Amino acid sequence: MKVAIIDKKQCVACGCCVNICPKNAIAMFKGKYAVVDEELCVGCGKCSEICPASVINMEVVKND
Ligand code: SF4
Ligand code: SF4
């Protein structure tokens, strides 16, 4: 499956991804950038689609 990977250095901390994630898998870190909880992310890609800075990439990860 895929998970969302955020380039925190490029994130502008708008919060759009936090609000749209259906799994509440994204949180803001100290108001500076967004971080994904890979345990909660189901790879839907909605955050990646909405990010105005285009800094969320969907990357394939292996399942155990
Ligand atoms: S891919 Fe979907 S589930 Fe994963 S962090 Fe983005 S919006 Fe949330
Ligand atoms: S939508 Fe993009 S720029 Fe906005 S907080 Fe999320 S990762 Fe950062």
Give the chain's domain count: 1
State how beta strands 33-36 and 26-29 pair: antiparallel
Q: How far apart are CA 30 and CA 1, in angstroms?
A: 29
Q: Give the distance, in angstroms, between the CA of residue 4 and the centroid of all CA atoms in the same chain.
A: 5
Q: Tens of pLDDT along 14-42?
A: 999 999 999 999 999 999 999 999 999 99
Which of 44, 49, 56, 59 best tests ligand 1's pocket when mutated (most atoms within 8 Å of CB)?
Answer: 44
Domain CATH code at residue 32: 3.30.70.20
- What is the model's pTM? 0.94
Q: Residue 13: which domain range?
A: 2-60
- Predicted confidence (pLDDT) at residue 12 exceeds the cutoff of 80: yes
Residue with token string 């969320």: 56
